[in-house]
A and B are shown apart, each in its own frame.
Chain A
Amino acid sequence: MLASLLIVFREVIEAGLIIGIVLAATQSVAHRGLWVGVGITGGIVGACIVAGFAEQLAGLFQGSGQELFNAGILIIAVLMLAWHNVWMAGHGKQMANEMRQMGAEVSLGQKTLTALAIVVGVAVLREGSEVVLFLYGIAAQGGQSTASLLAGGGLGLMAGAVVSALMYFGLLTIPARRMFSVTSGLITLLAAGMASQAVLFLQQGGYFEFMTATLWDTSWLLPESGITGRMLHTLVGYTDAPNGAQLVVYVLTLLTIRLLMRLVHGKKSLPDALASSTS
């Protein structure tokens, strides 16, 4: 029971942390609950489909179908997160601040919410398909232990949801005027971490095989297998033994998103940004 609790907890927390950040980033946006709900539902349905076709998927691309699929959906998530951040830097910040002062909910349009719903869907899909395969295996085996394993899975789901909710409410305690910088920072790190993980999947699939040498190993200090290591892995892309290509892509993703955000908005004061955008 403990084993199944831990597995489900681990997967739920990885998707849950991402959902928590998305919810915090869209705190004052109207209809965000609906879109996040759509993302979660779509992710669960997708997870079942992926789990059901695991064998066929794995067989594609000379046996690298699974790795390419994982890398592909991670890259989609990275693009969506980057686009959300850049869009928010351009339009969202002032809009959100003005509307917040008026005490109204912001209707940012469906664009950026669609992107975030896709991110949520992808996160749930990736972690969910593993949970589905695991639970299906338990159910298929039958026997006396099935009930207790499923109960463990249920408890793991709840525990993961609680930790994710704690993080979300923790983020909500951040003062409103700082909220934008904090959530956009978190989303940038999230995107960079996903990009570097996509690199690892591509390398596992036999593509993108350059700079594969391990740069350093901090598993003695903070192992990725531990709960802290795993949470940091999800949130900021921590890995205890990164390779060169992973680091390069991580840094490039960070810099690209920050640069694009600066380009559309600028870190300077509003008059400066207006002056540069009208000139």
Chain B
Amino acid sequence: MCRMKALKYLAIAAVAAFGVSSALADEGAIPLSLKDHKFTPVEIHVKANVANVLALTNADDTAEEFDSTSLKVEKVVASHSSGNVRLRPLAPGRYPFMGEYHADTAQGVVIAE
């Protein structure tokens, strides 16, 4: 238990040392939030053929995995925390994504145009 605590402090110290936190989203990142296992907005429009970043905030009490085989992204976002999801330059089209742990409600789509 003691070791776990030490590990935790070490992790926190490391975060502090890097002076950054995932809460600080990249500039120009597209906000995306998750609440009650639903994404807002459900449809995200991005420019085709350029890289984009989604700033995902998970407002739920449980962790969620942003998962999309078409976007080639798997990213776990812990409860009440946020993370950046980098999107490769996309050809025009629809790219569905989901919260893997609550796939029945957590659904969305990136539309590149």
A residues whose Cβ falls under 8 Å from a Cβ of B: 3, 7, 49, 51-64, 66-67, 129-130, 133-134, 136-137, 140-141, 200, 203-206, 212-214, 219, 223-225, 239-241, 243
Residues of B within 8 A of A213 (CB): 89
Answer whether A137 and B100 are a contact pair too, CB < 8 Å, given A60-B14, A60-B15, A62-B18. no
* B63–A133 touching, CB < 8 Å: yes
Nearest-CB distance from A150 to chain B (Å)? Answer: 14
Q: Is residue B84 within 8 Å, beta carbon to beta carbon, of the partner chain?
A: yes
| Pairs A–B under 8 Å by Cβ, sample size 23 | A53-B8, A55-B81, A56-B11, A56-B14, A58-B22, A62-B20, A63-B22, A66-B75, A130-B76, A130-B100, A133-B63, A133-B76, A134-B101, A137-B63, A137-B101, A200-B72, A204-B73, A204-B75, A204-B86, A206-B86, A214-B91, A219-B69, A225-B69
Answer whether A7 and B83 are a contact pair too, CB < 8 Å, given A56-B12, A58-B78, A203-B88. no
B residues whose Cβ falls under 8 Å from a Cβ of A: 4, 7-8, 11-12, 14-15, 18, 20-22, 24, 51, 61-65, 69-70, 72-73, 75-79, 81, 83-86, 88-89, 91, 100-101, 103-104
Answer whether A137 and B22 are a contact pair too, CB < 8 Å, given A58-B78, A204-B86. no
Please pick, from B15, B63, B91, B100, the residue contacting A59 in the complex, using a CB distance under 8 A: B15
* B11–A57 touching, CB < 8 Å: yes
Q: State the CA gap A3–B107 with chains docked (Å).
A: 14
Residues of A within 8 A of B21 (CB): 59, 63
Nearest-CB distance from B95 to chain A (Å)? Answer: 10
Residues of B within 8 A of A66 (CB): 75-76, 83
Additional A-B contact list (15), CB under 8 Å, known A130-B100, A141-B61: A7-B101, A54-B63, A54-B76, A56-B12, A60-B11, A61-B18, A62-B18, A63-B21, A129-B76, A133-B65, A136-B63, A137-B101, A203-B86, A206-B86, A212-B51
Please pick, from B8, B51, B69, B78, the residue contacting A54 in the complex, using a CB distance under 8 A: B78
Answer whether A241 and B78 are a contact pair too, CB < 8 Å, given A53-B11, A133-B101, A204-B86. no
* B69–A223 touching, CB < 8 Å: yes
Nearest-CB distance from B13 to chain A (Å)? Answer: 10
User: Which residue on A lies nearest to B84, using beta carbons?
Assistant: A63
Residues of A within 8 A of B91 (CB): 214
* B78–A140 touching, CB < 8 Å: no
Residues of A within 8 A of B18 (CB): 60-62
Residues of A within 8 A of B104 (CB): 3
* B86–A58 touching, CB < 8 Å: no
Residues of B within 8 A of A61 (CB): 18
Nearest-CB distance from B56 to chain A (Å)? Answer: 11
Q: State the CA gap A60–B84 with chains docked (Å).
A: 12
Please pick, from B69, B70, B81, B89, the residue contacting A58 in the complex, using a CB distance under 8 A: B81
Report which residue of A133, A203, A223 has the largest number of chain B beta carbons within 10 angstroms of its beta carbon. Answer: A133
